[in-house]
Every structure is written in structure tokens, then in C-alpha cells.
Amino acid sequence: MSNSDPGQQVPPEFPAWPKQSLRGHKLEGHRYTSREFMHLEWDHMWTRVWLLLGREDEMPAPGDWQQEEVGAESILMVRQSGGDIKAFYNVCQHRGQRLVSAARGHTNRFVCPYHSWAWTREGELDFVQDADDFPQGNPCGKLRLAELKCETFAGFIWVNMDPDCVPLREFLGPIWDEWEPYGLASWKRYVALSTTAPCNWKVVLDNFNESYHVNTVHRPRGAAVEKLRADSGIDTNYKTTRFDMADTGHSRMIMRGGYAGPAIDEEGIIGEPLASVLREWGLDPEDFRGRGEDTREALQQARRKLGPTMGYDYFDRLTDTQLTDAYHYTLFPNFAVSVWVDGFHFLRARPHPTDPEKCLFDNWWYAPDSPQLTEPVRTTSGVVDRKATVEHELFELGEKSMGLTIDQDLSVFPGQQRAMHSRGYSGSYLAGQESRTQRLHELVDDYIEGRRP
């Protein structure tokens, strides 16, 4: 049933994703520690999937470029004169020098730091010194940078090292339609924290593929599970959470949100941050004392009615549950995101070039940006001024906080990675609500064994 005014078009809720069957094998320690397994993943999986690497708004003008690393590769993304983006391996075709080392810049030509061969934005070689000294002929006009498949969606740049890959839209499956209404391409980044983590990338993704840890790892010290459920405004109970897995390996978890849930405290008082959220939308938390279940629908109605007048023009295109609930997605293989009604929490783990026991972990936050929106952005790493210029910070784990929630997640990773070497660990014993973790590993195996979906 819809909460809208009569006559208003409310987008229908998205259907369940198709059912997947799992093989259910144990997840053993070597998957996280073995170099051999790391190489199998690289050769058969990382080099054959769409990887989210860059951001379009960070390279608006022709000649702007951005460079990101994934495993052993560095990928150079370049805005072309016609507005499209090309992606190249960041490697000179003379003798293999990396062309750029910075994260981004602007150029007409990429001049190699070794012997100054110059490559155009389009990847053509157009200058070499001593051009007449090549017995096999002048390489200009003959050699090109090695290009890889590149598409854009949601304002992000996606690349695929497999020349025979399926189009990005097909790879993303149902995610495309569910994300499109938010207009994510125009959202701005408000948190950009990256760290090297002493664990395999799957330790990170395993965690973001299950909510079983939420009531334990994220519980305030000494607090009861019910307290967390009551105050967060999110019902973390697996029985009311919806779990889905797509054919192409991505997962979705929807937790009912925007309400005080099944367990508000004895006096029925609604805690923070939900109380503040209600106030922002013109609702008095006191009116809901003792009936925390009712805040969700009230919030949906308030957002649907007031959203467009408050600068959230896309609320019209969202379903009722998108207006309140926690939509967590994990995109195969290495990208996890929580899509909130006004925030996009970006979590990514990139494999280390040589060490299976390390990864590069990104914790970023995007939020809508429009002149009408002036309230600070509420993120899991703190409150950020909407006009702030956000610098990307890269640091070693523990040097700086990533915000309480992510610090809590990160706190368990090193211990788990070390224990993966133990002779006393014979592999996982998973709960039903950890099926998405199981599926991540089964998909990795499918790729390795040549059965990619």
C-alpha cells in the first residue's frame, strides 16, 4: 500500500531477485593466505569482471585523467575530446615504464618519464626521440597504449580487462534499475579515507556480505542488542531483513529502517539519531512515544511530501522503502555500498599487488549536492559541511579513525587474518544469514574453474 497523496505516482517496490542455490562448502584458511590462490583469482576472476575504479566528476574536462590501482595493475582513465572516457593500462609501450604516478592530473599528452615517448589522450604515440633509429620503422602512428573496456554508470568509471566481457549493464543486472532513480552521477564525495588493511580482500567483503556481526561488533560497549536495534532506527534482526542474490554474483540486503523497531526502551522513548531525523522532517519524536513501529510510515509520508521542496528532487522517483530502509548492496567481487535515502556509503577492498594478506580499503561517502541543500552531511565518519572540499587521505591502518562503525569492522580483520593460518581452523560453519558470504566464495571458485555466470 502506498503512502502518497491521491493522484501521486509512487514507484512500485522492486521484485525479489531470483533464487540461487549454494553448494555450501567450507571456507578454509588457505583462501585468504595462499599466493597460489591469489594468482588463480587474478588470472581468472579479477581480469574478467567489471571493476569500479574512477569517478567522472573528478575529470570533467577533456585531458583530465585519473589513475587507480587494482592488484598488480595501474589503470589510467582519460577524458576524451568528445566527452567520453577511455581507459588504458598505465604502461609505456617502449620499455614498460609507468606513464603516470600521481592519482590525477590534466594533460594533452602523456610523456613517459624514461625516454620521453609521448602518447596522446587517445592513446596514439606521436613523438619519440631519434625516430630514424628504429630498424623496425618509426613507432609513431604504429604503436598505441593498451586500452581496456570502459563504461560509466552512477557517475563511476568501470573497467574490464577482458576484451570479451558482457556489457556493464548486463553485469550489474537488477542494480542498474534500482540505483538509477537516485541520480547518483551528480552526488558529491564528502568522505575519502583509504587505508592498507592487513588482511585478504575477502576478509573485508565477507564482513560486508553478512549482518550477523552487526549486533555484536557494532554494539555500544555493555549495551544490550535491543538497545542498538532501538536507537539506530534500523531493524537488524535477520528475520525481518530481506536477502537477495543476483545471477551475476551481486547481493542485496534490505533492513527495515526509519523506525524504532521492535524494541524501543521501557519508557517508549525514541533515541538518537532517529529522533533528530524525525524532527528534520517535521515530526515530533514525542508523538511516537511507545509506538516506535509507526515512525517508518510517517517518515515515508513526510519525505515523499516534503522531499522535493527541500532539495531532494529525486525522492519522487524512489519507492516507499527506498525512502526509509537500509539498502545494502555488495557488487561482485569487491564493492559494498549502503544506499541511504540521502547518502551513498562506498566501501571497496582492492587486492594488494603481491601479498594475499593485505588489501587497500576505501571508505568513501557521497551525498546529493544541490544549492537548496545546506544542512551538513551526516556520514558514518562524522558530520561534514556541505560546502567542504574533501581531500583523499591514504594512511596505515590505525593511524587515523575512519569513524566508529568502520573502525569497529576493521578491528576484527587483523585477528581473523592471522587465525586463517591456524592448524586448528578447519573452515567455516555459516548461518543462513551468511549466505551472501558463501556465495561470494562460490562465485570466485566458479570464475577460477571457468564457470563464470
- Chain contacts with Fe ion (rule: CB under 5 A): 409
The helix/strand/coil state of 361 is: strand
Residue among 328, 354, 335 nearest 244 (CA): 328
State the binding partner of 199 from Fe ion, ligand FES, none, CB within 5 to 8 A by kind: none
Shortest spacing between CB 223 and ligand FES, in angstroms: 58
Q: Distance (Å, rounded) from C-alpha 432 to C-alpha 430? A: 7
Q: Count the neighbouring beta carbons within 10 Å of the beta carbon of residue 393.
A: 13
Residues contacting 61, CB < 8 A, separation 6+: 79, 106
Residue among 295, 218, 231 nearest 263 (CA): 231
Q: Which of 97, 319, 416, 433 binds ligand FES (CB under 6 A)?
A: 97
**Contact flag: residue 76 with ligand FES (CB under 6 A):** no
Shortest spacing between CB 115 and ligand FES, in angstroms: 3
Residue number of the CB atom closest to Fe ion: 409
State the binding partner of 95 from Fe ion, ligand FES, none, CB within 5 to 8 A by kind: ligand FES
Shortest spacing between CB 337 and Fe ion, in angstroms: 13
**Contact flag: residue 65 with ligand FES (CB under 6 A):** no
Compare residues 114 and 395 and give the one whose CB is closer to ligand FES. Answer: 114
Q: Distance (Å, rounded) from C-alpha 133 to C-alpha 136? A: 9
Q: Distance (Å, rounded) from C-alpha 194 to C-alpha 189? A: 13
Q: Cβ(209)–Cβ(328) under 8 Å?
A: no
Residues contacting 80, CB < 8 A, separation 6+: 62, 86, 121, 122
Return the amino acid letter for 379: T
**Contact flag: residue 94 with ligand FES (CB under 6 A):** yes
Question: Which residues of 212-342 form beta strands (DSSP E)?
Answer: 242-245, 251-255, 326-331, 335-340
Q: Which of 8, 43, 114, 372 binds ligand FES (CB under 6 A)?
A: 114
Residue reference for cell 587486492: 351
Compare residues 150 and 234 and give the one whose CB is closer to Fe ion. Answer: 234
Q: Which of residues 275-314 bind ligand FES (CB under 6 A)?
A: none
Q: Cβ(48)–Cβ(41) under 8 Å?
A: no
State the binding partner of 196 from Fe ion, ligand FES, none, CB within 5 to 8 A by kind: none
DSSP structural state of residue 280:
H
Shortest spacing between CB 95 and ligand FES, in angstroms: 4
Shortest spacing between CB 126 and ligand FES, in angstroms: 13
What's the order of all strands across the beta sheet hosting 118-120?
Answer: 109-111, 118-120, 125-127
**Contact flag: residue 196 with ligand FES (CB under 6 A):** no
Residue reference for cell 557494532: 218
Compare residues 178 and 409 and give the one whose CB is closer to Fe ion. Answer: 409
Compare residues 94 and 213 and give the one whose CB is closer to ligand FES. Answer: 94
Q: Which of 77, 78, 112, 205 binds ligand FES (CB under 6 A)?
A: 112
State the binding partner of 409 from Fe ion, ligand FES, none, CB within 5 to 8 A by kind: Fe ion
Compare residues 231 and 409 and give the one whose CB is closer to Fe ion. Answer: 409
CA 93 to chain centre: 32
Count of residues that interact with ligand FES, criterion CB under 6 A: 8
State the binding partner of 114 from ligand FES, Fe ion, none, CB within 5 to 8 A by kind: ligand FES
Q: Cβ(51)–Cβ(450) under 8 Å?
A: no
**Contact flag: residue 117 with ligand FES (CB under 6 A):** yes
Contacts with ligand FES by CB under 6 A lie at 92, 94-95, 97, 112, 114-115, 117
